[in-house]
Amino acid sequence: MFHSLSRIPIGLKSKPLASISLFLLTFLVYLKTLAPGVFGFDSAELATGVYTQGVIHPPGYPLYLLIGKLFTLLPIRDVAYRLNLMSAFFASITIVTLYWVIVNIIENRFAAWVSAFLFAVSNYFWQMALIAEVYTPFTAFLAADLLLVSLWRKTGLKKYLLVFSLIYGLTLTIHTSGILFAPAFAWLILKTPHWKKWYWSLISMMFVLFLAGLTPYVYLSFRASASPAIDYSRSYSGVDLTTLSGLWWMISGKAYSMFAFDYTWREIPNEWLRFSGHLWRNYLGIGVILGAIGLGWLWRKAPAWTIGLLLIFTANVFFYVNYRVMDKDTMFLPSYMVWAIFVAAGVTATYNFSGRRFNQPQLERWLRGMARALPIVFIVLGLSLNWRWVDMSKEDGYALFAEEMLAGAAPNSLVIAPWSSAVALEYYQVVEGQRPDLLIINRSRYSVARYYELWRQDLSYEKIMEIISSEEVDFINGYIQQKTIYAVEYDPILANEFEYLPEGSVFKLTIP
């Protein structure tokens, strides 16, 4: 049954079947499509970082490393698979928590269940549920933040604000972009009859708990002092995390600050169009239309919630639209999740419309039937289409490449690889103990670190790339007489200095 927005308060103790079914169904879908082992890019780096409890790229993701360590203790398959499983687990936790957020805002269980499941099988979220990544733990904590705020707004009980403060601090130790949502949470907390005056004692307690939530960042300093097998901050950027300045460098993400708001005015409209395309694809178009309807409906029924949700949506979209990186499609996940709430409102609005009296019983029955059936059809459509797009169950390309590369490399050789594959090689070397004699250079990490140093000197892009290329040539020349050097990808600039000889799936560099 569909309830009006203001009539029936829904608590967390009612009807657990919806939560159980959501968790089990989504987790089963994720298990069937889960990547079987190591993947490339950040995924392999995170797996190696968790296993070694090392220091990975900024902002460090300390809580992910700590939770991930627990998942590595599972007695199943290899470390990479266990962390892929962690992503699936937190994805299902996200969906269940999102369901209760929607129930508390819209008070419509059917719309909440349908919209939460639609988000579960949406393109970009589903992708991140299948490999080791920070995004599904991040959305799980973000959904928990929203749930606690919704309970505060519904009950006025201060305990929910205290727990929220701790969880919000922890959210930032999974992904610092959560700080973008502070204005939204402040609005939702303050814009309620329960907050009639400034509770200074409550604010003080909330602040202390928020700081307590940030303490996992101290763990990064502790691990850096232990000289772990992986320490990207020291090896690529020369930063000491045992100092306050070094720790702030890590937390603030200064190494990537040159990518923020880096687009020209001519480029920005195209980035907005790209995001619009991502949103349209994520919800197969139909969900965008339903969400737009729901946004208008929610504005009339709950304007404070609408403003708060729009603040989250726009903060996330505005920052990442203006962030010049190639892999930002999934960085919009918080905005996609908020849109799922608008979709739920849209489902409610369309059903309410179908319940109107038209003095034509046959038309009324048809409209009500369509309002019930269309969301289910949408779920089936999302499952069938996105399954083909995101299924990772047979994805073994990075594993096969790494195993072949490590098996065929000459003793004590040097391997220069881009970010995507260097981390997979490191995973097999460090986690699986294969070929410890090889020196693996993550060319992308070096380039980013060096680019940041030169960018701070106000050098042009062309000059920066010229310096980096020259330094790479000098580096290779320093080793080429001592070691066999392999390059995973062909570089036309380096090819002016060295000969690229194909050897299997890589190249051997020699002096012409």
* 127 lies in the same domain as 252: yes
Distance of CA 376 to the CA centre of its chain: 27
Distance of CA 205 to the CA centre of its chain: 30
* 369 lies in the same domain as 401: no
* 378 lies in the same domain as 491: no
Model confidence, pTM: 0.89
pLDDT at position 237 is 74
* 428 lies in the same domain as 367: no
* 247 lies in the same domain as 117: yes
In a domain, 240, yes or no: yes
In the numeric block, the tokens 């499509």 are attached to 33
- E strand or H helix at 339, and its extent? helix 333-354
pLDDT at position 365 is 63
* 486 lies in the same domain as 379: no
* Residue 373: exposure state from Cβ atoms within 10 A (0-12, 13-18, ≥19): exposed
pLDDT at position 219 is 92
In the numeric block, the tokens 């797996």 are attached to 47
The three-state DSSP-derived secondary structure of 93-140 is: HHHHHHHHHHHHHHCCHHHHHHHHHHHHCCHHHHHHCCCCCCHHHHHH
Domain's final residue, options 337, 363, 385 = 385
Rounded Cα distance between 164 and 403, Å, is 45
Rounded Cα distance between 181 and 315, Å, is 7
In a domain, 210, yes or no: yes
The structural domain count of the chain equals 2
pLDDT along the chain (512 residues), means of 10: 39 68 95 92 91 90 95 94 97 97 92 93 95 97 97 92 97 95 96 80 93 95 87 79 89 79 84 89 88 93 95 95 84 96 91 59 61 73 86 90 88 88 90 90 76 72 79 83 88 86 88 81
* 379 lies in the same domain as 402: no
pLDDT at position 64 is 96
In a domain, 323, yes or no: no
* 87 lies in the same domain as 217: yes
In a domain, 338, yes or no: no
In the numeric block, the tokens 């939560």 are attached to 19
Range of the domain at 147: 16-261+355-385
* 249 lies in the same domain as 126: yes
Rounded Cα distance between 371 and 377, Å, is 11
Q: In this structure, which long-range contacts are made by residues 283-289, counting pairs with CB atoms below 8 Å and at least 24 apart in sequence?
A: 283/118, 283/122, 283/336, 283/339, 283/343, 284/378, 284/381, 284/382, 284/385, 286/378, 286/381, 287/118, 287/122, 287/339, 287/343, 287/378, 288/339, 289/346
Q: DSSP for 401-466?
A: HHHHHHHHSPTT-EEEE-HHHHHHHHIIIIIS---TT-EEEEHHHHHHHHHHHHHTTT--HHHHHH
pLDDT at position 165 is 97
Sheet harboring 439-442: ordered strands across? 439-442, 414-417, 485-487, 506-510, 499-503
In the numeric block, the tokens 């996330």 are attached to 316
In a domain, 339, yes or no: no
